[in-house]
Amino acid sequence: MPFAHTEHVGDGADTTFSIGFPYLQKAFLIVEVDALELDLGVDWDVDGGGTNVVFDVAPANGAEIMIRRETDRDTKIVDWTSGARITERNLDRADDQLFHILQEIDDDIGGAEENANSAELDAAAAASSAASATASAAAAAASAAMIGTFNLTGPTTGDAIVWSGTEWVDGEPGTMELDDLTDVVITAPATGAVLTYDGANWIDAAPAGVTDLVAAAISLVNTAGTGGGSVGADTTVSVVVPATGNYRISVRGTVYAQIEQNNAGDINIAAIIEEKKDAGAFGAVRTNTWRERANAATAQLIHNKAIEVNYDLLTLATNGSTYQYRINTSVGTSAGWTAALDSDGSATGRAHSIGVELIQVA
C-alpha cells in the first residue's frame, strides 16, 4: 500500500479530491492530471481543513489524477540553535520530516519493483511470441509438404479431389443411389414419403401423423322458411395408405352457419362426414346435428354457429387403398327461420373445413 500518493479519476464535474496522507507543508504536494504537473495556487490549492485538493477547473471525465508528497530533503524544517526551547511541536515536526522521507523512499522502491516485474512479463511475452512464430513456421512447412502431394491438372465444375493411391488428383466423384446402402429397401416411393426403420431395414413409407387440411369456400345453398335443403360438398381430401405398415385414419370437420330467427319454430343443421374407399361410392360415416326450438317470435335473433363432426376409422386402413373424405350438410327449418350456410353468412367469412390425418401405429 502506498504511503505518500493517492490516485483518482475525474468525472468532468467534481473539483475536490481527497489527499489521503499527512504532509508538513502544502508546498511538498505534487498534483498531476494525466501525468502533467499543475501549479499550486494557479491550478489547484488545498481546502481550509488541509485534507483535500481543490481544482480551479474540474478535471475531464476519465482524467487520471495523481496526488503525491515530496518532502524537502535538503533543508531541515526545525533547525535547533543553542538555548532554543524544546517543544513537542518542534520535536514532532523534526521527526515527521524524517518519517515522511522514509515513507516516500519506500514508495519509490515499490514502484521500481513493479516496473521490474513488468519488464520481466514483457520479456516472457516476447519469448512466447518467438515460440509461437517457430510453431507457425513448422506448421507452414508441414502444409507445404502436404500441398506437394496434390496434382490438379484440369478441374471442371462438379469435380472432386480424390486420392489416387500416391497423390491427390481432380476427377469425377463417385455416385451412389439410396438403394445402394445395404440396409435401405425402397419399394414404391411416393411424393411426401419418408424413410422409416422397420426393425431390420430402412423402408419408404408415409410419415406418421400426416395431416391434410382443407379450408376452402364451398358452393352452398341458402334455405329459408319450411322444408330445408342440403349441400353437395365439392371439395374432397384423399389419403393413400402405404403398402406396408399399420395405419388408422382420423377425420375432423366443421360447418359454419348463420341463423336468423323471425318467428317461432324449429331448426336443425347437420354436419356430415362422407367416406369413399377406392372405386366405391361416397357414404355418410358420421353425423352431428345441432337443433334449436323457439317458442315465440323474436325478431332478428342471429346465431353464428360452428357445428363440429369427428370420425375415426375403427379398423386398420387397408394397405394400398385410397380413402376419400368430404363434408356435407343438411338443413331443416320451420317458418320464421333462415339458415345461411355461406361461410358464416358473409362472402369473406370462414369457410367450412375438413382435415384428414393418416396415423401410423405399431
C-beta separation of 91 from 35 below 8 A? no
Question: What's the pLDDT tens digit per position in 169-182?
Answer: 887 776 666 666 77
For 140-162, the DSSP string reads HHHHHHHHTTEE-----TT-EEE
Q: How far apart, in Å, are the Cα atoms of 213 and each of 190, 191, 217, 235, 237?
A: 19, 17, 13, 11, 8
For 173-211, the DSSP string reads PP---GGGSTTEE-SS--TT-EEEE-SSSEEEEPPTTEE
Task: Enter the CATH code of domain 208-361.
Answer: 2.60.120
Q: Is the pTM of this model over 0.95?
A: no
Of residues 275, 300, 301, the one with CA closest to residue 287: 275
Q: How far apart, in Å, are the Cα atoms of 168 and each of 115, 147, 157, 160, 175?
A: 55, 9, 17, 10, 19
Please report where in the chains the cell 500500500 appears, as a residue.
1
Question: What's the pLDDT tens digit per position in 39-76?
Answer: 999 999 999 889 999 999 999 999 999 999 999 988 88
Domain boundaries, the chain: 5-115, 178-205, 208-361
Distance CA 221, CA 231 (A): 6
Q: How confident is the model at residue 347 (pLDDT cuts 50, 70, 90)?
A: very low
